[in-house]
Amino acid sequence: MTESQQETERKYEAPSADDTTWLPDLAGVGGIVSVVEQGTEDLDAVYYDTVDLRLAGASVTLRRRTGGTDAGWHLKLPLSGDSREEVRAPLSDTLPDSLRDLALSRTRGAELRPVVRIRSTRGVRQLVGSQGAVLAELSLDAVRAEALLATGTRAASWTEMEVELAPDADPALLDVVDKTLRKSGVHRADSPSKLARALEETAVGAPRVPDEPGGEAVVRGSAGEAVLGYVAEQIRTLVTLDPAVRRDVPDSVHKMRVAARRLRSVLRSYRPVLDRKTTDPLRKELKWLGGELGAERDQEVLLERLRTKIDAVPDELAFGPVSARLQIWDADKSSKARRRTLEALDSDRYLALLDSLATLTERPPLRAKAARKPKKVTAKAIVKEYGRLSARMEHALDLSPGTDRDRALHEARKAAKGTRYATEPARDALGKPAKRLGKRVKAVQKVLGDHQDSVVARDALRKMALAAHAAGETGFVWGLLYGQEQAVADRRERELPAVWADASRSGLRKALDH
């Protein structure tokens, strides 16, 4: 069992933990009314990582800590700015599987072992506001670090200070306190965490923090740099979202699936930059991952769509146990889709994919065109994707309404996504033309997406109508909703030619060609 909370803090160098004459009085600063001493506590933490420090390299820490008010296992995941998410599990002798799984996208299955032991004597002061509300906690730590890996050769000690914002407190308080501390000569710590400093000062080694993708192999200002930078960003997004997906955080499956799709699409679009002998197998695995995540995401979208439409049915027309049947249908579908997601993330195939993605950015399979200026290379890739989209759109619009046209419009939607994703690594090089095309193609994709969602919804409604009929229930509401979805599809098909015409303006194509 785990629980999580967000923590926002800043670390400072501290001359001493015993003589605190250097510490300014913070009463009266930023709504702080008083500073209340809470005494001292002894903390003892063993930090775990892989031998090559993969967690530390990703700014993630995993520790088993005793002492204090929050003894237990703590996994800290980076958020933006000064914030991190801390996931906690109860104290035990062995690493909980739940935390091991949440770290898996960073460790990629490598063994976790103790790397550093850090003991701290902590003096705690609460920064209290009006009506006794605790705004933040100021901690002075006398720290002693000991290497636990054979590569470490010595112990280290130092003093530091942390100012941690209380839950729901105004983040601006940290800036006000920071300004006061700096005026008193107290400066921010160079190391982002105790672990980072301990690894350095005990000679365990510095974690490998990812450099610019491809390192020295990539020509600065080249097409290779633009494409690899985008690829690396999507890989980071995918890896970062893994723990959120495992914990069923809202919208996390959708975001992770989109990252996989973007990667897969851009690796195809930019084959002249990255050798397809390497990227095609990766695209196959990304397609597999997207498909496994898609079951859960598609069910989420469909459920929300149907629930919204059922809620909108007037009471005088709501015949039969419609909501109950929808709930039964979703319980079965959602549980199966959830299991499918988690089984995929726990599979050896997924770990192999993560390894391959790490290798892709560390040792990119660059082709000759990767060294060229990005403008022409990216423009050519976009125009090619646009040509694929144009051909599929023309084919779909030539068909009569019906199943074949539905399939063709779905294929056009995929091509629209590919075109939009191809513009994203090119926006610095091409500027407004790429952004404009991406925006207009997104409008096409939105119309096609709503049309496809209607196709899927009609299929589900038909099946639920059959199930209701077999159970002796009226199928009136299901038929009503089916008709509404058919009307949605018809409207989207009528809108599509104008939206497509806007996206396919010849002036935009000319701008990209040049």
Torsion over CA: 330, 451, 486, 408 (sign): negative
Cα separation, 398 vs 401, in Å, equals 9
**Residue 5, exposed/middle/buried by CB under 10 A (0-12, 13-18, 19+)?**
exposed
Cα separation, 29 vs 89, in Å, equals 36
Look at 214-228, 233-247, 340-354 and tell me which has the smallest mean pLDDT: 214-228
Q: What does the block give as tokens for 189?
A: 């710590």
Per-residue model confidence (pLDDT) at position 81: 85
First to last CA, the chain: 58
Q: What does the block give as tokens for 102?
A: 């949440």
Per-residue model confidence (pLDDT) at position 508: 47
Mean pLDDT of the 208-237 span: 84
Whether 106 has a pLDDT exceeding 60, the answer reads yes
* Cα distances (angstroms) measured from residue 170 to each of 9, 29, 174: 12, 13, 8
Q: 46: closest CA among 68, 63, 69?
A: 63
Per-residue model confidence (pLDDT) at position 153: 72
Whether 321 has a pLDDT exceeding 50, the answer reads yes
Cβ 114 vs Cβ 126: under 8 Å:
no
Mean pLDDT of the 298-306 span: 94
Cα separation, 20 vs 241, in Å, equals 42
Cα separation, 249 vs 186, in Å, equals 38
At 277-297, the pLDDT tens digits run 999 999 999 999 999 999 999
Mean pLDDT of the 247-264 span: 96
At 68-97, the pLDDT tens digits run 889 999 999 999 888 999 999 999 999 999
Please report the DSSP string for 405-461 in residue order: HHHHHHHHHHHHHHHHHHHGGGHHHH-HHHHHHHHHHHHHHHHHHHHHHHHHHHHHH
Average pLDDT of the chain is 93
At 436-491, the pLDDT tens digits run 999 999 999 999 999 999 999 999 999 999 999 999 999 999 999 999 999 999 99
Residue 29 identity: V
Classify residue 328 as left (phi > 0), alpha (psi -120 to 50) or beta: alpha
pLDDT tier at 214, thresholds 50, 70, 90? low
Mean pLDDT of the 118-145 span: 96
Mean pLDDT of the 299-323 span: 94
Pairing state between β 134-147 and 155-165: antiparallel
At 5-28, the pLDDT tens digits run 999 999 999 998 889 999 999 999
pLDDT tier at 401, thresholds 50, 70, 90? very high
pLDDT tier at 258, thresholds 50, 70, 90? very high
Cα separation, 173 vs 82, in Å, equals 13
Residue with tokens 């979703």: 330
